[in-house]
A and B are shown apart, each in its own frame.
Chain A
Amino acid sequence: MNIFRLVGDLSHLLAILLLLWKIWKTRSCAGVSGKSQIMFGLVYITRYLDLFTNFISIYNTTMKAIFIAVAIATIYLIYFKFKATYDSNHDTFRMEFLIVPVGGLAFLVNHDFTALEILWTFSIYLESVAILPQLFMISKTGEAETITSHYLFALGSYRALYIVNWVYRYYFEGFFDLIAIVAGCVQTILYCDFFYLYVTKVMHGKKLSLPA
């Protein structure tokens, strides 16, 4: 464990708790893409299947359990409890356009052709594009609530910090996982224009609004 990965994990945890809190407090999931949340749920379930089979550390197990629980709770709030506030007209990104190619790629490009490894690879690839429906929804509505932009900033920062973690681990531990690194770079690049808008607008107290 290194500081970059720890801060990254905490940023990730902050992001998902921020989103859950926003929906619960405002009793509304307006501006939130349910499709992205479903895909994140899929990411955690397929990646943390080893939650009960191999124990790595208390921290690892606890975080995995929290990520899965919060993802399921968020999906529940969006599609059941506050379903009336779910903006399905703007959350129109076709998930199958992401899940099918990612599933195929996981079969073709992986470290080990075993079920667990292919599911882990699928999870890594899916996570890199899971935010697209959310970014697409913001581009359609033309704006995002400030709390939602904080959620996106924390979520985007987590994988950016993981990239620094991988550089650190490469130089100090000689460890690197090309699949995770390439997917992590793609994932972070997708946030770039959002990061630019966040820094230039939200940081100056303005509302995040895309140029119409």
Chain B
Amino acid sequence: KDYIKDKDEL
């Protein structure tokens, strides 16, 4: 999983 992309929400 592309960790950074998925975690762009606050």
Contact = CB atoms under 8 A, between A and B. Distances in A.
Contacts of A117: 3
Contact of A111 (B1, B4, B8): B1
Interface in B1-10: 1, 3-4, 6-10
Interface string A49-61: 0100010110010
A81 interface: no
A64 interface: yes
A16 to B, nearest CB: 12
A60 B1 contact: no
B4 A60 contact: no
A50 B10 CA distance: 11
A130 B10 CA distance: 16
Residue from the set B1, B3, B7, B9 with the largest chain A CB neighbour count within 10 Å = B9
Interface of B: 1, 3-4, 6-10
